[in-house]
Structure 1
Amino acid sequence: MNTPNKLTILRIIMIPFFVLFMLVPIGGIAHKWIALAIFIIASLTDTLDGYLARKNNLITDFGKFMDPLADKLLVCAAMICLIDLGKLPSWVVIIIISREFIISGSRLVASDNGIVIAASWWGKAKTVSQMLMVIVLIADLGGVFHAIEIILIVVATVLTVISLIDYLLKNKQVLSMQD
């Protein structure tokens, strides 16, 4: 297994530890900062594994499938924790998770037909905006940052919807495939 794929697996392994520190007050208030550090490190592995895979020509089918899945698992786990903590409206998370199911389902159909669909610029922007939103919401710095939290929630939600529309328009043939 190459280094980019190992980083993807590491990101998946970090998720339960992130959730534990998000939801269980281990060590008092420090648990929030530990969860934030885990989330940031896991998010950075996404950038690093993609960079290494492209730079060293280590792009694999495993990476094409598991890297976006690891991102979805990390971000969705974080958003569900943020609902539980009262920091993110459930309707926002429903929109975001619904988009992920729609895209993942159509990617599976495409894969069964020998088609690999790479992430678009909109999809990458969506992921970055969601990760930034999660970071700011976990940090929960208050004051002016509350306005920034709201802006990031709106931006992440809008980019989620735009990236879904872009994906559906660009991949109409996948949706029309029949057995």
Structure 2
Amino acid sequence: MSETSTGETPAPVRPSNWNLPNALTTLRIVLVPFYGWALLYDGGDSVTWRTVAWAIFFVAMVTDKVDGDIARARNLVTDFGKIADPIADKAITGMAFIGLSIIMDTWWMWAITVVVLVREWAVTILRLSVLKAVVIAAAQSGKWKTAAQALALGLLSLPLLEVDGWLDVPGEVTYVVAIALLLAAFVLTLWSGYEFFRDVWKQRASLRSSASSS
């Protein structure tokens, strides 16, 4: 990088918030109420609208991957994106958990939903607020959790138990697979949450130790 006539290195140009990754992130946020409406239409018994809900959820998950890849590849990471991206992710998955809990109406699904949402939003709020001086890299367990969660919620968005005819048995089998993925995601959510808070504690302790010794 060249220097100015005064010998100072010019500050890097910050990318504009008006870019494709942020547009995709905004799209995911906009899709949340449409996904919720399609999922819960007719009490969740509509085969057509449950399929539409799955399609919306699929688009949201694809754009989540695409916008991050584009932002990193083209150096389009912005403050807006850092804040809006995790909010968009938690909004669509939160709507899925709540909507599916309403449809399934079981104590264990509601319990999973409450625990997962408390964990997800606690981690998100910490990342966006008090942890500016602490960098916690995404753990492998967190990546597995995200993948298992997306697969489980996507499959459960489908009308697996509402179809008839030749789709009846495949629907039931897929439903069992989706529940297994959901339980795996739940376990990974607890474990990755433990790893996150453990690493936060270690880094904050290290920072306090460095500050006191300097």
TM-score (normalised: structure 2): 0.74
Tell me the distance in 2 between the aligned counterparts of 1:173 and 1:102. Answer: 18
SS for the counterpart of 2:54 is helix
1:116: Cα distance to partner? 5.4
Tell me the distance in 1 between the aligned counterparts of 2:67 and 2:111. Answer: 31
**Rg: which structure is higher?**
2
Alignment of 1:172 with 2:201, yes or no, is: yes
Identity %: 35
Whether the 8 Å CA contact 1:110–1:174 is kept in 2: the answer is no
Tell me the distance in 2 between the aligned counterparts of 1:13 and 1:90. Answer: 25
1:94: Cα distance to partner? 1.1
Tell me the distance in 1 between the aligned counterparts of 2:105 and 2:147. Answer: 19
What's 2:24 paired with?
7
Alignment of 1:132 with 2:144, yes or no, is: no
1:87: Cα distance to partner? 6.6
Gaps of 5+ in 1: none
Alignment of 1:1-179 (within 5 A): 1-25=18-42, 28-86=46-104, 89-107=109-127, 108-111=129-132, 114-115=133-134, 117-141=136-160, 142-172=171-201
Which string of whole-angstrom CA distances, capped at 9 and with x for unpartnered residues, describes residues 93-123 of structure 1? 1110110122123221123xx5555543332
Tell me the distance in 2 between the aligned counterparts of 1:174 and 1:145. Answer: 42
Whether the 8 Å CA contact 2:155–2:175 is kept in 1: the answer is no
Tell me the distance in 1 between the aligned counterparts of 2:134 and 2:20. Answer: 25
SS for the counterpart of 2:130 is helix
1:79: Cα distance to partner? 0.7
Q: Aligned letter for 2:182? A: I
Q: Aligned letter for 2:116? A: I
Q: Structure 1 residue runs of 4+, over 4 Å off?
A: 114-118, 173-178
How many pairs does the alignment contain?
175
1:149: Cα distance to partner? 2.0
Whether the 8 Å CA contact 1:36–1:139 is kept in 2: the answer is yes
Tell me the distance in 2 between the aligned counterparts of 1:90 and 1:19. Answer: 16
Tell me the distance in 1 between the aligned counterparts of 2:126 and 2:203. Answer: 7
Tell me the distance in 2 between the aligned counterparts of 1:139 and 1:71. Answer: 19
Whether the 8 Å CA contact 2:90–2:121 is kept in 1: the answer is no
